[in-house]
Amino acid sequence: MSREPPHYFGAGPALLPESVVKQASQDLITYLSNDVGVCEISHRSADAIDIINTAKARLAQAYSIPDTHEILFAQGGGTGAFAAVAYNLTAAYAKKTGKKGTANYLVTGSWSEKAAAEAKRLGFTTHIAANSKQSAGKYGSIPDSATWQFTNDISYVYYCDNETVNGVEFPADISANLPQGVDIVADMSSNILSREIDISKFAAIVAGAQKNIGVAGITVYIVRKDLLSRLPHEEEVALGLPIPPIVFDWPTLAKNNSTYNTLPIFGVHVLSLCVKSVLDKGGLKAQQEESESKADKVYQVIDKYPQVFNAPVAKDARSIMNIVFTLPSPELEKKFLDGAKELRLNGIKGHRSVGGIRISNYNAVTPQSIDILVTYMESFAKII
């Protein structure tokens, strides 16, 4: 089985590394010594448990995850994580303080906006500490940290490290700009495994796998172990805390090695293969250098032809993973998309909520694909 190398820039579900596609396709038919494929084995079989443990070990190696943190796999995607974070972080704060606390959110795009809205909908006390749409009139920047306003009873601070739709990415972790000792939660769904980070600074990192680290159906949680201990449910109820569905209860997931319910083992296996591909490349340092190099090539063309490619994101907040721009008219946008399709440059139409063009520069997108894209952008800019 083979395919012509694709030049696909879709934002998620996204392109997988070629080595991963080949290995996963073989494992779909038969896995190791089994007569069946990886999708057909029990999620509690020895082979499945080995897949889970191998994936965890590879993630731990890639990020140098300290012993203070645990890796969990679950279903529910990023949207499910909105709820899981609110339930578990509020419960952890209640055990520590005896109070419910207030969840503080930094809103810099559509995903952090949805995360805050979901926490509020579920009955948690929420506070918007910063909102770039309110301060700048649109999403496309990160408010100056000096303007962030937090409550005095922070149960956790939540932010989306990379806003897939709006093309906004925090250039570094935000721990130095927060009140000392608060629990920080980062949604890294679309930039996980793309750059080096210090896991120890985070209470939790969450990521839907379908963008940069696997296929839809798996959510990764890297959580500090002290969050896995909570008050008895009756005490939480007395404090006014909502009790989470058991599939979102991190202590339950941890006690059962993420197999309390039927875990999509194929998704974990693909995730593990994706992490291996980064390790084989030289680890996160090498991957970060490659990602930044690819993105820089695209941004150079955008900046070279501002009359053709309008970049709506402030330069200090530009995403390395999701590069967005617009063209002067709908007609030119259609012409650009049609020309790209002729070159097999696919998946570049912007999100339906904002339009324009979006180039997703995930790990599986090769430097060769980027070179073809920027050559096309150059030629397009010169002929219109």
Cα separation, 319 vs 304, whole angstroms: 18
Cα separation, 5 vs 24, whole angstroms: 16
Question: 187, 249, 276, 294: which one is catalytic?
Answer: 187
Degrees to nearest 5, angle at CA 347 with 292 and 167 = 45
- CA-CA-CA-CA torsion sign (293, 297, 298, 304): positive
**Is residue 250 annotated as part of the catalytic site, yes or no?**
no
List all residues 6 or more positions away from 310 whose beta carbon is below 8 Å from its beta carbon.
325, 326, 327, 328
**Is residue 371 annotated as part of the catalytic site, yes or no?**
no
- Whether 196 contacts 288, CB under 8 Å: yes
Question: 111, 161, 183, 249: which one is catalytic?
Answer: 111
Cα separation, 314 vs 312, whole angstroms: 7
CA distances in angstroms from 125 to 67, 86, 180, 302, listed in the order given: 31, 10, 21, 42
Question: 56, 211, 276, 294: which one is catalytic?
Answer: 211
Residue tagged 């494992």 (tokens)? 27
CA distances in angstroms from 275 to 196, 231, 257, 279, 288, listed in the order given: 13, 35, 19, 6, 14
**SS3 letters for 14-62?**
CCCCHHHHHHHHHHHHCCCCCCCCHHHCCCCCHHHHHHHHHHHHHHHHH
**Is residue 99 annotated as part of the catalytic site, yes or no?**
no
Query: Number of helices and strands (H, E) in the chain?
Result: 11, 13
Residues acting as catalytic residues? 111, 187, 211
